[in-house]
Structure 1
Amino acid sequence: MPIASSRSAVTGLVIGCVIFGLGSLIVAHVDIGGWAMAFWRLAISGVVFAVLAKMTGQRLPRSKRAIFYGLLSGAFLGLDLALWHESIYAVGPGISTLLNSLQIFFLAAIGFLYFNERQSVLQLISLVLAMLGVAMIGSPEFAQNKAATWGFITGIVSGAMLAASMTFIRKTHDTEPTPIFMLMQLVSIGGGLAMIVPMFVFDMGNMLPNTWSDIGWILIYGTVMQCLAWGLIAYSIPKLSLALTGLLLLTEPVAALVIDYTWLDKPINTLQWSGALLTMFAIYLGSLKPKPRALRRYRFFAKFYKHPYK
């Protein structure tokens, strides 16, 4: 690969991840429920992807099963976003984004349980390190934040929902290769529909923006974070090695932690910073290319890295 192309891919990936980190700041700033925020993000992005699909002549897959899997992937993505938003409200953008990044370990579990993928020693070590890092982050948080339990539960479960969404992206492509804009339109539709009932149940009275400023931020959240940032990441990842990709993707939780600490004045002590660094190191280890005997799992993960969402 030409050096200039590699540098542009690195730059695009870092910018995309930082923009995603800024998205958590919008969630914390706009006074709207987490489920409603997920609905509006997916509804807005669905319109954008529909226009892009129309402009590029992309069509729905012929297989009804592929369409179903695409919609189901969106439903899980909606749950991921809503729970991530709830975690942001409870423990802040930094910790919630870091917990959501644990999705790579849920992917490993799915690969082991449903695709007969063997776990490497490095994967197991990274899992232990991640658990230790989360414990280091959580111990002070539980002592000073009454909402910490809810924030950690929703943050970790959101990672599981993201892994499930990625799994059905794979099943969509396995059933019938689907053009990217049309695929993301299906995902957006499925996620938006899945959010309607929970939004009315959990966010009644807090579903609509109250000011023109809030409307503007929601439009930015749905277009810039879901479409532009995702586009930069989707463009960059295939041009880089998985090892470098795994490292650069950590700029998202790093950016969220810095934003949380500097802009939102969240107290983060030395033990929590150390736990965050250890957890990010564990996530990086979990993203490294496995040895030849685990090549099948490497290919399994490679498919998901081409379809990031946050």
Structure 2
Amino acid sequence: MATTSSSSASIGLIIGCIIFGLGSLIVAHVDIGGWAMAFWRLVISGVIFAILAKMTGQRLPSSRPAIVYGLLSGVFLGLDLALWHESIYAVGPGISTLLNSLQIFFLAAIGFLYFGERQSSLQLLSLCLAVLGVAMIGSPEFANNTAATWGFITGIVSGAMLAASMTFIRKTHDTEPTPIFMLMQLISIGGVLAMILPMLVFDSGHILPNSWSDIGWILVYGAVMQCLAWGLIAYSIPKLSLAVTGLLLLTEPVAALIIDYSWLGKPINTLQWSGALLTMLAIYLGSLKSKPRALYRYRFFARFYRRK
């Protein structure tokens, strides 16, 4: 029975991660700006989570700092999404998703600087491997792609923004435990408000979808990637060991790389594939000894789903 449950959880986690990888394909396909895409994703998910919060009777936290922290988490999540989208446009879904996955190292740095969490030798080794892997990926890209610098900067910074978003989620819960649907509604509101000005400035003329097909894909992106994928991941993670979880979470950048190479025709040479494998090994090793940080992106959902 336990084996069956573990097998189902593994399948659920893989499907959730693949759905996330497919999200980058939607971003590359729909002709609107990266900031606008982040805005619409958060609007759609915000409406869904507001409905779910109403149906389940969840309320706002009574602590004003908890509300502020939740909104700030949304601000940084919006920045993460927008910069990740910009990286997708510049270097493709595969490389951009892999760069975004480096957020575990930013989480480790935040944990060290602000929460006094000590780093192990394995974590330091994984960081060195990640730097080498990114260099291997980047060297051919910089030689052949004039937008590579922008793509790598936005991809890496998007990981930092995601780490900041997770940190404010942690501060929200430390201040006052907040029900999951209400928390996600706060995050969506904060992200939507933060996206309005940069969207108007940077994506002028590319804010609204141009066809019913684009509208449909945006709805799928907001509902499926932000809600369904999270639900699958949240359901699966508590049922698996940390080592298996860390390995299966790499399905997301692997799926994005394969989609980018086979479906979108992105040229990826042997050196870049080797760098990608090395970077994913570094991410896996970093996750093994940093459970509260590396997997916090997913585990905070699981914590509250188990309470329902």
Report 1:161-240 matches (<5 A): 161-240=161-240
Report 1:105-124 matches (<5 A): 105-124=105-124
Q: Matched residues in 1 for 2:48 and 2:140: separation?
A: 42
Q: Note the alpha carbon deviations across 1:241-276, whole angstroms, 9 max, x for none.
A: 222111111000000000000110010000000000
Q: Matched residues in 2 for 1:101 and 1:301: separation?
A: 10
Q: CA 1:192–1:272 in structure 2 vs 1: closer, same or farther (change >3 Å)?
A: same
Q: Matched residues in 1 for 2:195 and 2:26: separation?
A: 19
Number of the residue aligned with 1:11 = 11
Q: Tell me the CA shift for residue 7 of structure 1.
A: 1.3
Is 1:306 matched with 2:299? Answer: yes
Question: Contact 2:41–2:222 (CA<8 Å) still a contact in 1?
Answer: yes
Opposite residue 152 of structure 1, the aligned amino acid is F
Number of the residue aligned with 2:250 = 250
Q: Matched residues in 2 for 1:200 and 1:154: separation?
A: 19
Q: CA 1:300–1:156 in structure 2 vs 1: closer, same or farther (change >3 Å)?
A: closer
Opposite residue 100 of structure 2, the aligned amino acid is N
Q: Matched residues in 2 for 1:2 and 1:61: separation?
A: 37
Report 1:135-154 matches (<5 A): 135-154=135-154
Q: Tell me the CA shift for residue 6 of structure 1.
A: 1.2
Question: Contact 1:170–1:304 (CA<8 Å) still a contact in 2?
Answer: no
Identity of aligned residues (%): 83
Number of the residue aligned with 1:128 = 128
Question: Contact 2:233–2:298 (CA<8 Å) still a contact in 1?
Answer: no
Q: Tell me the CA shift for residue 305 of structure 1.
A: 3.6
Q: Matched residues in 1 for 2:93 and 2:294: separation?
A: 26
Q: Tell me the CA shift for residue 302 of structure 1.
A: 5.3
Describe the SS at the equivalent of 1:280: helix
Q: CA 1:18–1:300 in structure 2 vs 1: closer, same or farther (change >3 Å)?
A: closer
Number of the residue aligned with 1:50 = 50
Is 1:20 matched with 2:13? Answer: no
Question: Contact 2:100–2:156 (CA<8 Å) still a contact in 1?
Answer: yes
Number of the residue aligned with 1:76 = 76
- Give ranges in structure 1 of 5+ residues lacking alignment: 291-296
| Runs of 4+, deviation exceeding 3 Å | 297-305
TM-score of the superposed pair, with normalisation by structure 2: 0.96
Q: Matched residues in 2 for 1:35 and 1:140: separation?
A: 28
Q: Matched residues in 1 for 2:279 and 2:110: separation?
A: 20
Describe the SS at the equivalent of 1:268: coil
Q: Tell me the CA shift for residue 307 of structure 1.
A: 3.8
TM-score of the superposed pair, with normalisation by structure 1: 0.95
Number of the residue aligned with 2:305 = none
* Farther off after superposition, 142-151 or 237-246: 237-246
Q: Matched residues in 2 for 1:302 and 1:255: separation?
A: 19
Q: Matched residues in 2 for 1:234 and 1:192: separation?
A: 24
Q: Matched residues in 2 for 1:277 and 1:108: separation?
A: 21
Describe the SS at the equivalent of 1:60: coil
- Please give the root-mean-square deviation of Cα atoms over the aligned residues, in Å: 1.2
* Farther off after superposition, 2-11 or 164-173: 2-11
- Give ranges in structure 2 of 5+ residues lacking alignment: 302-308
Question: Contact 1:27–1:85 (CA<8 Å) still a contact in 2?
Answer: yes
Q: Matched residues in 2 for 1:116 and 1:24: separation?
A: 35
Describe the SS at the equivalent of 2:246: helix
Q: Matched residues in 2 for 1:299 and 1:134: separation?
A: 24
